[in-house]
A = this chain, B = another copy of it.
C-alpha cells in the first residue's frame, strides 16, 4: 500500500475512534481559527487581547520536550529527534500566536537526576558520571535556542513520555478551568502520543495536535503511526 493511502487509513481510523474530540491541524489552518470553528478577528492590539483572553480562557497549549538534547544536533545527544530542529520555528510561531490569544502556555520538559534513577529503565544506560540526556542543570535540559518561558507561563517537569504521568499537570489545568488542549513539540510516537491519549482519558473536551509543529525521528513513522 502506498504511503499516502496508509496515512489516509490512519486518519480514517482516528475519525472513527475519537470522533470530534481529537483534531489534527496544520498550523496554518488552526491559526486561522480552524481549531475553534471561528477566526480571531483583526482588531486593535489591546482589545484583541481582551477578546482573545475571554475566547481562549479554557484552552492551554502544551509545548513538549523542546529541549536542546532532543532538538539540537550540536548536543550530540543519543536522544536527538532527527526532525526536531526543523520544527523549532513552527513551534515558536505557535507559541507566539498562543500568547497573542491569551492561551495559557505550559512548557513541559524532562529534567532527570544525574544518576538516571528517575528515567525509564530502558534509557538508564545513557547516564553515568553525572551526565546524560536532559540532566537537570546541564545545557541539554535547556529549551532550544529561540524558545523562552515568559512571566505568567508555566514550567512542568516530567520524567516519563506523557506529560500527565506522575505529575500535577491535570490538577493545574482542571483547576484553572482548562477544557481544551493544543499540543506541539517532540516527538510524535512517544511523548506527543502518550500525552494525547492521557488527555483523552482525562476527559479534555478537544485535543488538537498541530502536525506541522511536531516531529518524529523517522518521518514515515510520523505519518503511519500518528496516533
Contacts and interface: CB of A to CB of B under 8 A. Distances in A.
Contacts of A120: 21, 200-201, 203
A13 B205 contact: no
A132 to B, nearest CB: 15
A44 B130 CA distance: 29
Interface residues of A, number: 56
- How many protomers of this protein does the assembly include? 4
A9 B171 contact: no
A194 B193 CA distance: 10
Contacts of A190: 17
B6 A224 contact: yes
Interface stretch (A28-36, A51-59, A90-98, A162-170): A162-170
A45 interface: no
B9 A6 contact: no
A211 interface: no
A161 B197 contact: yes
Nearest to A205: B121
23 contacts: A1-B3, A1-B220, A10-B221, A13-B218, A17-B190, A18-B122, A20-B122, A21-B121, A21-B122, A113-B154, A117-B172, A118-B172, A120-B203, A121-B205, A160-B168, A161-B197, A161-B201, A162-B197, A166-B168, A166-B171, A166-B201, A197-B197, A225-B225
Interface of A: 1-3, 6, 9-10, 13, 16-22, 113, 115, 117-118, 120-122, 125, 152, 154, 157, 159-162, 165-168, 170-172, 174-176, 189-190, 194, 197-198, 200-203, 205, 217-218, 220-221, 224-226
